[in-house]
Amino acid sequence: MIQGTNPGTAPIAEAGRSTPRSARRSTLRGTALNVTVMAVATGIVATLALPGYAVNPAANADGVEAAEAMAQLRSTQSQSLTVDVEAAQTVTRDQFSATSEAELAAAQAAAAAAERRAQLAASYTAYSGPTAEDHLAAPVAAYSQSAVVNIGLQYVGTPYQYGGTTPAGFDCSGFTSYVFAQVGISLPHSVSGQAAMGTKISRADAVPGDLVVFNDHSHIGIYMGNGAILDAPYPGKTVQTRQLWTDAYYIVRIG
The model's pLDDT over 104-144, given as tens digits with 9 standing for 90+, comes to 888 888 888 777 666 655 655 667 899 999 999 999 999 99
Answer yes or no: pTM beyond 0.75.
no
Place 212 in a pLDDT band, splitting at 50, 70 and 90: very high
User: Quick one: pLDDT band at residue 22, thresholds 50, 70, 90?
Assistant: low
* Domain boundaries 113-253, corresponding CATH code: 3.90.1720.10
pLDDT-based confidence at 85, cuts 50/70/90? low
Q: Quick one: pLDDT at residue 250?
A: 98
Strand segments, DSSP code E, in the chain are 165-166, 169-170, 199-201, 211-214, 220-225, 228-231, 240-243, 249-253
Q: What is the dihedral of CA 20, 26, 32, 34, to 10 degrees?
A: -120
Domain spans in the chain, listed from the N-terminal domain onward: 21-75, 113-253
pLDDT higher at 239 or 65: 239
**Exposure string over 103-125, b if 16+ CB within 10 A, otherwise e:** eeeeeeeeeeeeeebeebbeebe
Q: Point out the least confidently predicted range of 50-54, 68-72, 216-220.
A: 50-54
- Cβ(158)–Cβ(117) under 8 Å? no
